[in-house]
A and B are shown apart, each in its own frame.
Chain A
Amino acid sequence: KMLGSILSLICFDDMKRLNVRQLIYQVLNFAMVVSSALMMWKGLIVMTGSESPIVVVLSGSMEPAFHRGDLLFLTNFQDVPIRVGDITVFRIEHREIPIVHRVIKVHETSNGTIKFLTKGDNNRVDDRGLYAQGQYWLEKKDVLGRARGFVPYVGIFTILMNDFPQLKFAVLGLLGFFVLLHRE
């Protein structure tokens, strides 16, 4: 009975009266919300040149600069060279999760090819232990981008949603439910 009163609160009354065209409009409205979000994300990807322009710091290996849960903004402009001290986000082959560490050594050839070594500020050793079997250096192709700005703590929400997939499902489900079922 309580569910019934909650449901009637969510404007189900309006929904009973919809004809075909209005139903299609509700679905399209929902699709437009999703599309807008998608287009903003793709736009950001194109503007920054990075596949994943916003990442969340997952470990404490870069303290005191970045803590677990910080949100990082990346750019990946190919013409800006990678230098020692840059904080790069890179991916090791066959590993899904990107790593956020600082560049400590760079070897550069005359035509611009680069090999570099990274280390987390809070780690005792460099990252060679993390690289793939037989790999001792990173190259430009492994880089997702360089950190250009950050927002503290906001990423904890993303970490929570990843650790508890039911939470992600529930939040997205509820949002979708409301957009789909509310007439403007």
Chain B
Amino acid sequence: MGQFLIPEEEWSTGEKKKFQSTLWDASSMKNTLDDAAKTIFVDGFKYKESHRLIDGRLAISLLACSCAAFALVWDYLNPFPQSRPVLIACVAAYYVVTCVLTAHMVWWEKNIFMRAYQSDPAGLDPDSVWTLSSNLPRYTTDYTITVQFKDGSTGSLNEVSITKPMSVWYDGTGLLLQSQYEPEIRKLHDQLISKKKD
């Protein structure tokens, strides 16, 4: 039990944190790997997670849906010929908002699935930022995870990544193997910590 950051009961047998994925579903296995890496950083290393990126996406989606809902309600209250200008405005607005959403996902979020803040123990320097992103191209099983570290005091940006076929980390039932995965993630983390000290 002593060698892992996340207690074994939480990883494999606990109710909530079971890292079980659906065996032949690539997106499920990728999501499981992402979730596990996130857990290691947030619960294991105890960094504070930032929800800015996903909140941005939620807000834009909500805006788009409210345009659609507004159009629906207005059209119901004022039948078609009268509601024409409002409908045109809503459809145009919806189109613009969905373009903004796509832009947000492509340029702002990229493949990032977690951002966390590590506060300085001395309380003097601004927080350092850990960013995790991952990539799984279509029709391959090679999963790439990239850890990026931005030092709070110097502002320097460093990143390391590792690419492996997903089968290395999973057992036959689709359960993520803590003994294989957690040490790899910790190695990436420690590499960046030691780079910072240089």
B75 at the A/B interface (Cβ < 8 Å)?
yes
Is the beta-carbon distance between B88 and A46 smaller than 8 angstroms?
A: yes
By beta carbon, the residue of chain B nearest A37 is B68
User: What is the bound-complex CA distance between A100 and B100, given in angstroms?
Assistant: 42
> Considering the complex, which residues of chain B in the window 1-55 have a beta carbon less than 8 Å from any beta carbon of chain A?
16-22, 25, 27-28, 31-32, 35, 51, 54-55
Give the segment of B58-66, B119-127, B156-164, B184-192 that binds chain A. Answer: B58-66
Would you give the shortest CB distance from B89 to chain A, in whole angstroms?
Answer: 10
Q: Give B60-89 as 1s and 0s: 1 = Cβ < 8 Å from A's Cβ atoms.
A: 011011011101100100011000100110
> Considering the complex, which residues of chain A in the window 1-50 have a beta carbon less than 8 Å from any beta carbon of chain B?
8-9, 11, 13-14, 16-17, 21-22, 24-25, 28-29, 31-32, 34-36, 38-39, 42-43, 45-46
Give the number of chain B interface residues (Cβ < 8 Å).
39
Is the beta-carbon distance between A42 and B87 smaller than 8 angstroms?
A: yes
By beta carbon, the residue of chain A nearest B174 is A13
B94 at the A/B interface (Cβ < 8 Å)?
yes
Give the number of chain A interface residues (Cβ < 8 Å).
27
A93 at the A/B interface (Cβ < 8 Å)?
no
Say yes or no: A46-B31 contact (C-beta < 8 A), given A11-B22, A32-B61, A35-B65: no
Would you give the shortest CB distance from B122 to chain A, in whole angstroms?
Answer: 31
A163 at the A/B interface (Cβ < 8 Å)?
no
Q: Give chain B residues whose Cβ lies under 8 Å from the Cβ of A17.
A: 16-19, 32, 35
A residues sitting closer than 8 Å to B (CB atoms) are 8-9, 11, 13-14, 16-17, 21-22, 24-25, 28-29, 31-32, 34-36, 38-39, 42-43, 45-46, 51, 183-184
B residues sitting closer than 8 Å to A (CB atoms) are 16-22, 25, 27-28, 31-32, 35, 51, 54-55, 57-58, 61-62, 64-65, 67-69, 71-72, 75, 79-80, 84, 87-88, 90-91, 94-95, 98, 174
12 other contacts beyond A36-B98, A39-B67, A45-B80, with CB at 8 A cut-off? A11-B28, A13-B18, A14-B22, A16-B16, A21-B54, A25-B57, A25-B58, A38-B71, A38-B72, A39-B94, A42-B90, A46-B84
Selected A-B contacts with CB under 8 Å, 12 pairs = A9-B22, A11-B28, A16-B16, A22-B54, A28-B58, A31-B61, A35-B67, A35-B68, A39-B95, A42-B91, A45-B87, A46-B88
